[in-house]
Structure 1
Amino acid sequence: MPKLLFKLGRWSYLHPWRVIVAWLVILAGCAGAAFSLMKPFTSEFAITGTPAIEALTTLEENFPGEGDVASSPSVNLVFAAPEGAQLADPAYMAAMDQTVRHIEDNLGAIEGTQRFGNPVRINAELQRGLVEQMTQMGLPEESARADAYNLRMVSDDGRIGFTTFEFAAESQFQVTDADRRVVADAMQIGRDAGLQVEAGGPGYGDPIEINTTSEMIGIGVAFLVLLVTFGSLAASTMPIVTAVVGVGIGALAVLTTTHWVELNDVTPVLAVMIGLAVGIDYALFILSRYRQERRTLPGPEAAGMAVGTAGSSVVFAGATVFVALVALVLAGIEFLSWMGISAAFTVLVSVLVALTMLPALLGAWGDRAFAGRIPGVAGHAGPGNRPAKDLDTRSMGRTWVNVVRRFPAAVMAAVVLGLGAMSAPVLGLEMALPSDTTSNKDTTQRKAADLMTEGFGPGINAPLLLIVDAHGVNPDAEILQPYMAAVPDSAGGRAEKAALASFLYAVSEANSVSGVRHAQLVSVNEDLTAAQILATPEGGPEEEYTLAVAHGLRENNRQVEDATGVHIGLTGLTAVQMDITEELAGAMPLYLGIVVGLAIILLMLVFRSIMVPLVAGLGFLLSVGAAFGFTVLVWQEGLFGLVNTPGPILSFLPIFMIGVTFGLAMDYQVFLVTRIREHYLKLRRAGDPDAELHAVEEATIEGFTQGARVVTAAAVIMIAVFIAFINQPLPFIQIFGFALGVAVFFDAFFIRMALVPATMFLLGRATWWMPRWLDRILPEMDVEGTGIEHMLDDARQPQEISA
C-alpha cells in the first residue's frame, strides 16, 4: 500500500489542477444532486422491533387511528392558580374559558377533544360519565369511582388543573411553528389574568434547531492551531480547505440520501462534526510529514513520501473510524445506524480528499507552500537577530518524553489510577430519552410536567398502557369464571363475556403489581375483542423504580396470558423509551467487545507486537471510561453547577461515543507509534551490536519527539471542533460535543502522550515481542513506508523551501 500511495501522492503533486478541479466538480455535482433530490429531514427517531413498538401495532390493528400514542401530537395545557386561590374563582374561570376559546378559534382543527375545555367545568361531567359507563360493564361502583378519581383533571386542592387536545397533524414531528404560536398566545391570555399557564406533551416539544456557528468556531480555532504548528499562513489554510471540501461532499451526499431514506435532522450535524475534525487532522498529519521530507527531497518525491508514510497511517486510522461507525448498525436502532453510516461516509471522503487534494494543493503552491512565515513561531527565526529554533533537538515533546523516561512507573500509575478514579461515576450512569420531565427547568414543558407532578403525583407523567388482545381468549379458563358470572347478560355471547372477563382480570392483576398506583380499563373496541388498560405508576418516567414497575407489569402480563389465552402488550411513551434505552445498553458490551477486539487485531498486524495493541486497547477503555465519568458528573450530577438542568444521560450517547472515541483513539495510536516503530526499525537495520539493547528507548524518544507536536495540534483541533458544538441549542448535541471533546483530551494527553511511552520504557524489548509462529502467519502491513525508503535514498539532498 505505501508504494501505491507514494505514486498517488506524487502524481497528485505533479498534476494539481486535474485533482483540484475533479474534487470541485464532484462537490458541485453533489450540490446539484442534493438541491434536486433532497427531501425534508424528520425530527423522528425511527425505531422498530421493540416490544413496546410491537404493542403499538396491536393497538392500531384493534383501535384504528390510535396506534401512534408514543408520537401523537398531544398537548397538556396546565393551569395553576396562585397560592391560596382556586381555579374555580370566577376571574380564573373566565381566563381559562378565554384561553380554551382562543385555541378553538385559531387552530384550523384539533383532535382528541374528549378532555379538552375548561378543566373545572368538564372534570365533574367526565367523572359522572365514567362512573356510569364502568358500572354498566359490571364494575363495582367503588372501583368505578376510583377509576374516575385517577383520571381527574383538577387537583384535590383545586389549585392545579389541566386539559388535553391533539394538533391536527400526523405526529408530533409534523406540528408547525404557527400552531405552536397559537397555543403560546392562548397561554399568554391566562397569564395576563394572573394564572400560571404552561404547555407540555409530545405535541408541544421544541422544534429541532441547528446553530451554524459551531462549525465556524471550530474552523477558526483550527486555523490558529495550524498557524502555531506550521508558522505559515499558506500552510495553515490547506488542511482547512481539504476538510471543508470533504465535509461538504459528505454532507451533501447525506442530503441527497433523504430522497430515498427518511433521516433524522441530527444526522448531518454529527456527520459534519466528526468529518470536520478528522478531515483537518488527517491533512495535518500528511502536511507535517511533507514538511519534514521536503528538507531532503524535491517536491514531488516529498509529497509521495508523505502520502506513502503518513498517508498509510491515515488510511489505517480512517478505516478504524469507518468500521467503528458502521458497526453501530449492531445496535439495531435505525436512526443510530444512519447516523453512523452517514458519519462513516463523510470520514471516507475526508480520507480520499486528504490523500489526493492536499498533495495537489502543495503542487499548486510549489515552493511557496510554507509562505507567509510568522517570525518566532514553529521554530522560525524570531524578530531581530534571534536564531531559528531546531524543534528536533529542543522541543516540549522531547522534554516531556525524557521526564517519562526517568519516571515511567510513576507516570503509568498516575494515569491508570487517575483515569480509573475518574471512571467511577459511570457506575451511577442513568440513561433516558428526552422528555418533559428532563427538559431544561426554564422551559414551559418542564414547568408543565412539574405542575402535573405537584397536582396529581409523578406517575401522571409516566403512564403505561396495556393492550389486551382477546381474540384467542379461552372461555373455559378457570380463573375467568367468577368474572364472567359478574358480566351482565347484555354484554353478548359467551365469547364476548369471556373477553370482558379477561379485561377485568387483567386490570385486577395489574393493580397487584408493586409500584402501580392504579390500573383501570379505559377503552374497549366495538366488537369486544380488545381493550386498553391504563396503569399509573407511583414514580416519574426518569426514575429507575418506574422501569422496575414496567418490567413487573410485563412479567404479570405473561402470567395472565398463560391463564386466559389473551395477548397483552405494554406500550406508551415511557415503555417505548425504556425499551430503546435497554436495547442500547444491551448492545454496548457486544459493540465494545467487537471494536476493541478489532483494534487489537489490526494493531497486531500493523506493529507486529502483542503488548502495543493490548496497551492501546486498555488505554482506550481508560480514556472512554474517564470521559463517561466526567460527563456523568457534569451533565447528570450537576458538578460545579455548569449545567442548568442536570439529568439522565441521553440513551444513545454511550454507544455512539464509544464508536467515535475508539476510532479517534486509534488515530493517535497509529500516528504516534508509527513514528516510534519507524525509528526502531531503522536502528535495528543499522547493525549496531548494542542496537537491540537501546533501540526501544532511543526510538521511543525520537519517534515521540517527531510525532508529539503534530498529535498535540491534531488533538487540540479535534477538541475545539467538538467543544464548539456545546453552542448548539439541542441538549443532546451539547452533550455529544462535550463528551467527545473530553474523551479526546483524556485519550490524547493522558493515554497516547503519557501511558504509551511509559509502558514502552518499562517493557523494553518486550514492547515489540511477538511469537514467531504468530509473526509467520500474520500478513505484512507496511504502514511505516519502509518499503519506499530505499527508493529515495539517492535522491535525498538538502532542499530549500521559499518563504
Structure 2
Amino acid sequence: MAAFLYRIGRLAFRRRWTVALVWAAVLAAVGLAGMTAPEAEEEPFSMPGIESQEAFDLMEERFPGAAADGATARVVFVSPNGEKVTASENKEAVEAAIAELGDGTQVASTVDPYESGAVSEDGSTAYTTVTYKVDAAGLTDASRSHLDESLEHARDSGLTVEAGGDAMEDMGGPSGTAEAIGVSVAAVVLLITFGSLAAAGLPLLTALIGVGISLFAITALAGPLGLADSTSTVAIMLGLAVGIDYALFIVSRYREERAKGRTAQEAVALATGTAGSAVVFAGLTVVIALAGLSVVGIPMLTEMGLGAAGAVVVGVLIALTLVPALLGFWPNAILTRKDRKARRAGGAPRETRKVNGGTRWASFVLRRPLPVLLAAVAGLGALALPMTDLQLGMPGDEAMSTETTQRRAYDALAEGFGPGFNGPLTVVVDARDADDPKAAAETVSGRIGGTEGVVSVSPAQFNESGDTAVFSVVPTTAPTGQETKDLVNTIRGDRPGIESEAGATFEVTGTTAMNIDVSEKVQSALVPYLLVVVGLAVILLLVVFRSILVPLKAAAGFLLSVLAALGAVVVVFQQGHGADLLGVETTGPIMSLMPIFLVGIVFGLAMDYEVFLVSRMREAYVHGERPAQAVTSGFQHSARVVVAAALIMIAVFSGFIGDSDAMIKMIGFGLASAVLLDAFVVRMAIVPAVLALLGERAWWLPKWLDRILPRVDVEGEALTRPAGPEAEPAEKDLART
C-alpha cells in the first residue's frame, strides 16, 4: 500500500498540471450536470415494516385523491379574556378568516369549527384545519405568504391567532451559518497549526472542491434516485470535515519530511505513501460506518449514509492526488516562514522538534498510565449513566421556542382541548371482508373508545366503496408521554379480540403512532448496526495495525465516548440540566434518529483520529522503537494534527447549537460533545495509557493469523527497506529515487 501510494504521490507531483486540470474538468462536469438537472420531487417520509406506515399506505390506496400526505395547517383562534369565540363579533371574525384561508390556490379544503364541533367546552378556543393539495415541500412561496397574511388579518380583529402543522415548517433548507462558522474556525486553527497562509489555505481549498463535486453529484442524482434534501446536508457536513482532516494530515507529513532535508518531490511522495495510507484506511472506516446505516431499514438514513459515504470517497481521492499536485505548485510556500528564510539563505533545513506539547503529554501519561486510565474511564462512565434513562421520541411543536406561532398554537390547543388533542391517533378499519362494514367500524370504534386513556372518538368516515373507514382517537395524555405509548400498545394488544368481534381488521397510525413505531424500530436496530459497523471496523483495523488488542481497544474507547455523549444529551435535553444555557425551553424525549445518527457519524470520525494517531506509533514501533518510545513518537508527530482536526469538528458542530430548532440544537450538541470526548479523553488519554500498560503485548498477533492477514504496509516499511537484487519493482524504484 505505502509503495503504491508513494508512486501515486510522486506521479501527481510530476504531472501536477494534468492532475489539476482533470479535477477542474470533473468539477465543471458535475457542476453542469447539477445545475441543469431537473428539480427533484420531495419524497414523503416512509418507514417500511411498521404498522403505522402500512396503515398510511392502506389509506392512500383506499382513499385515492384524498391527499393523505397533503400539508395541513391547524389554525387556532383564542378569544380575548372573558369572551367566547361563539360571540357574534368573534364568530364573524373567525368565519371571515376561514374564508380567506380557503381562497389559497393550493388549498384543498377548510373546516368550519362551528359546524364540526371544533370549539372548546368553555367556548374560549376554536380551530380549523386547512388541508392542501400538495405536501409541505410542494407548497409555493405564494401559498405560504397567503397563509401568513391571512393569520395577520385575523389578528387585527382582536383574536389571538396561531397556527401549527407541517404547512408552517420552514422548507428553505440549511442557512449555511454553521458551515460558515466551521470554515472560519478551521482557517484560524489551520493558521495557528501551520503558521503559514498557504498551508492553512490548501486544506480548505481542496475540501471545498471535494464538497462542490459531491454536492453537484448529489443534486444531479436527486431527481432520478429521489434523494431528500437531508442527503446533501449531511454530505456537505462530513465532506467538509474529512476533506480538511485528510489534507491536513498529508500537508503536515510533507512539512515534516521537508524539515528532514528531503526534496519537495520526495517529501510529497513519502507523505502520500505514509500519511496517505492512514487516510485510505481512515476513509474506509468512515465509509463503513455511513454505508452501514442501510442496515437500519430507514430509506432516509440509507440515502444520507450513502451520500455522505460518497463525499468521503471523493475527499480521500482528492487528498491522494490533488493535494500532492498543489504541493508541487507551491512546494516552499507551504513551509513555515523560518524554513523559507533558511532555504533562501542556503542554510540547513530545520530539524523536527524532539520535544513539544505532544511528547510532554505522552510522557506524563506514560509515567502514570493506571491513574490516567481509571480517571478517564470513570469520568466517561459517570457521563454515560444518564443514558440508562434514555427515552426516544420525535419532538414536535411542543419542543419549539415559545416565540414561534407553532409552539403557541400547540399550547393553546392543549389548554383548550386537553394535552392529547395535539396527538390524535388515526385508526384505519379494513372492512372489505365484513358482512356489514358500518357495523364493523362501529364495533371497532366503540371498543377503542372504551379503552382507558381515551377522551373521545370521532365519527367514522368511509371511502367511496364503503369498505374502509377512518376515525380519530384523542388520548388523555400528550403525544410524547409514556402513557400515550402505553395506550397505543394496549389498543394493538386488544386487536385479536376486537377484530374477532367486528369481523374486520384495523391498524393504528397517525403522527403520534408513527413516532412511536419509528422509535421502537430505531431502538431495535441500534445493536445490530453497532455489531455490523464495529465488527467490520475491527477487522479493518486488525489488518492495518496487525494487532488483536489495538482494534478492540479502539472499539471500546469509541463506545465509551458515544455513550458518554448520549448521556450528556439526556442530561441537557431530557432532564433539563443546563438547558437554559443553550436556549432549550422545553425538555422531553430524545429524537428517535439521534442515537444511530450520532453513532454513524462519530464512529467514522473517531476511527479517523485512531488511525492518524496510532499509525504513527505503529510506524515507529516497526522501525525499531520500543513500545513506550513509539507512543511518544506518535504523539510528537500526530497529537497536534489530531487536536487541530478535533477543534475544527467541534467548531463545525457547535455552530448548530445556536439554531432556534431544538432538534438541530440536539444534533449539534451531541456531535460536538462526542468529538470532544473521543478526541481529548479517549484518544489523548485512554489510548496512550492502555498502550503503556500493555507494552509489547499491544502489538501481539498470533502467527497463524499473521500468515492469513494481507500486508498493507500502512506504516511505510517498504519505503525505508534497502532494495536488493530480489527487491520488488516498487522498492527498486524507491531506492533509485
Q: Tell me: CA distance 1:428–1:270, structure 2 relative to 1, closer, same or farther (3 Å).
A: same
1:392 maps to 353
Aligned-pair CA distance for 1:198: 0.5
Q: What are the equivalent positions in structure 2 for 1:445-484 lying under 5 Å apart?
A: 445-473=406-434
Which of 274, 285, 306 is 1:341 aligned to? 306
Which of 643, 647, 658 is 2:599 aligned to? 658
2:129 maps to 164
Mapped contact 2:602–2:675 kept (Cα < 8 A): yes
Mapped contact 1:13–1:303 kept (Cα < 8 A): yes
Mapped contact 2:195–2:336 kept (Cα < 8 A): no
1:643 maps to 583
Mapped contact 1:233–1:371 kept (Cα < 8 A): no
Q: What are the equivalent positions in structure 2 for 1:365-764 lying under 5 Å apart?
A: 365-370=330-335, 392-473=353-434, 495-496=435-436, 499-640=437-578, 641=580, 642-645=582-585, 646-683=587-624, 695-726=626-657, 730-764=661-695
Aligned-pair CA distance for 1:171: 1.8
Deviates more, 1:453-462 or 1:203-212: 203-212
State the Cα deviation string for residues 543-598 of structure 1 (Å, max 9, x = none). Answer: 12211211211222233234554221111122222222222221111001111112
Find the aligned partners of 1:526 and 1:219 in 2 and give their Cα distance: 57
2:346 maps to none
Mapped contact 1:72–1:202 kept (Cα < 8 A): no
Aligned-pair CA distance for 1:24: 0.8
Whichever residue aligns with residue 9 of structure 1, its letter is: G
Q: Secondary structure at the match of 2:478?
A: coil
Find the aligned partners of 1:456 and 1:159 in 2 and give their Cα distance: 10
1:476 maps to none
Q: Tell me: CA distance 1:525–1:35, structure 2 relative to 1, closer, same or farther (3 Å).
A: closer
Deviates more, 1:779-788 or 1:345-354: 779-788
Task: Return 5+ residue gaps in structure 2 as ranges.
Answer: 343-348, 724-730
Find the aligned partners of 1:597 and 1:275 in 2 and give their Cα distance: 24
Deviates more, 1:34-43 or 1:244-253: 34-43
Deviates more, 1:278-287 or 1:210-219: 210-219
State the Cα deviation string for residues 631-658 of structure 1 (Å, max 9, x = none). Answer: 2223333332113333332222211211
State the Cα deviation string for residues 459-490 of structure 1 (Å, max 9, x = none). Answer: 111111111112223xxxxxxxxxxxxxxxxx
Find the aligned partners of 1:204 and 1:239 in 2 and give their Cα distance: 40
Find the aligned partners of 2:531 and 2:671 in 1 and give their Cα distance: 20
Aligned-pair CA distance for 1:354: 0.6
> Would you say 1:101 and 2:99 are equivalent positions?
yes
Find the aligned partners of 2:324 and 2:173 in 1 and give their Cα distance: 37
Q: Tell me: CA distance 1:373–1:17, structure 2 relative to 1, closer, same or farther (3 Å).
A: farther
Mapped contact 1:209–1:729 kept (Cα < 8 A): no
Find the aligned partners of 2:549 and 2:658 in 1 and give their Cα distance: 40
1:265 maps to 229
Which of 143, 150, 163 is 1:186 aligned to? 150
Whichever residue aligns with residue 681 of structure 1, its letter is: V
1:63 maps to 63
State the Cα deviation string for residues 355-399 of structure 1 (Å, max 9, x = none). Answer: 001110111113333265699xxxx99xxxxxx997632311111
RMSD between superposed Cα atoms in Å: 2.6
Find the aligned partners of 2:597 and 2:526 in 1 and give their Cα distance: 9
Find the aligned partners of 2:589 and 2:362 in 1 and give their Cα distance: 40
Whichever residue aligns with residue 199 of structure 1, its letter is: A
State the Cα deviation string for residues 603-660 of structure 1 (Å, max 9, x = none). Answer: 2222122221111111000111111111222333333211333333222221121111
1:322 maps to 287
Mapped contact 2:106–2:139 kept (Cα < 8 A): no
Deviates more, 1:758-767 or 1:80-89: 80-89
Q: Secondary structure at the match of 2:507?
A: strand
Deviates more, 1:308-317 or 1:707-716: 707-716
2:185 maps to 221
Whichever residue aligns with residue 615 of structure 2, its letter is: T
2:699 maps to 768
Find the aligned partners of 1:186 and 1:275 in 2 and give their Cα distance: 42
Deviates more, 1:182-191 or 1:230-239: 182-191
Deviates more, 1:290-299 or 1:313-322: 290-299
Mapped contact 1:636–1:648 kept (Cα < 8 A): yes
Mapped contact 1:20–1:360 kept (Cα < 8 A): yes
Aligned-pair CA distance for 1:531: 1.8
2:3 maps to 3
Find the aligned partners of 1:446 and 1:374 in 2 and give their Cα distance: 59
Aligned-pair CA distance for 1:352: 0.1
Find the aligned partners of 2:488 and 2:690 in 1 and give their Cα distance: 48
Q: Secondary structure at the match of 1:346?
A: helix
Mapped contact 2:71–2:167 kept (Cα < 8 A): yes
Whichever residue aligns with residue 248 of structure 1, its letter is: G
Deviates more, 1:656-665 or 1:508-517: 508-517
1:112 maps to 109
Deviates more, 1:723-732 or 1:637-646: 723-732
Q: Secondary structure at the match of 1:582?
A: helix
Find the aligned partners of 1:770 and 1:302 in 2 and give their Cα distance: 32
Whichever residue aligns with residue 176 of structure 2, its letter is: T
Whichever residue aligns with residue 679 of structure 1, its letter is: A
Whichever residue aligns with residue 310 of structure 2, its letter is: F
Q: Secondary structure at the match of 1:77?
A: strand
Q: Secondary structure at the match of 2:121?
A: coil
Q: Tell me: CA distance 1:59–1:44, structure 2 relative to 1, closer, same or farther (3 Å).
A: closer
Mapped contact 1:441–1:644 kept (Cα < 8 A): no
Whichever residue aligns with residue 551 of structure 2, its letter is: P
Aligned-pair CA distance for 1:677: 1.3
State the Cα deviation string for residues 106-130 of structure 1 (Å, max 9, x = none). Answer: 42363333x33xx3xx24xx4xxxx
Find the aligned partners of 2:511 and 2:412 in 1 and give their Cα distance: 19
Find the aligned partners of 1:730 and 1:390 in 2 and give their Cα distance: 50
Whichever residue aligns with residue 311 of structure 2, its letter is: T
Deviates more, 1:271-280 or 1:455-464: 455-464
1:146 maps to none
Q: Secondary structure at the match of 1:672?
A: helix
1:199 maps to 163
Q: Secondary structure at the match of 1:259?
A: helix
1:778 maps to 709
Task: Return 5+ residue gaps in structure 1 as ranges.
Answer: 127-151, 382-387, 474-494, 685-694, 798-803
Whichever residue aligns with residue 76 of structure 1, its letter is: R
Q: Secondary structure at the match of 1:683?
A: coil
Whichever residue aligns with residue 111 of structure 1, its letter is: A
Find the aligned partners of 1:520 and 1:89 in 2 and give their Cα distance: 26
Q: Tell me: CA distance 1:173–1:410, structure 2 relative to 1, closer, same or farther (3 Å).
A: same
Q: Secondary structure at the match of 1:258?
A: helix
Find the aligned partners of 1:189 and 1:523 in 2 and give their Cα distance: 33
* TM-score, with length taken from structure 1: 0.85
Q: Tell me: CA distance 1:659–1:236, structure 2 relative to 1, closer, same or farther (3 Å).
A: same
Aligned-pair CA distance for 1:434: 4.8
Mapped contact 2:255–2:334 kept (Cα < 8 A): no
Query: How many corresponding residue pairs?
Result: 720
The higher radius of gyration belongs to 1
* TM-score, with length taken from structure 2: 0.93
1:233 maps to 197
Q: Tell me: CA distance 1:728–1:789, structure 2 relative to 1, closer, same or farther (3 Å).
A: farther
Q: Secondary structure at the match of 1:466?
A: strand
Aligned-pair CA distance for 1:13: 0.9
> Would you say 1:789 and 2:720 are equivalent positions?
yes
Find the aligned partners of 2:287 and 2:408 in 1 and give their Cα distance: 42
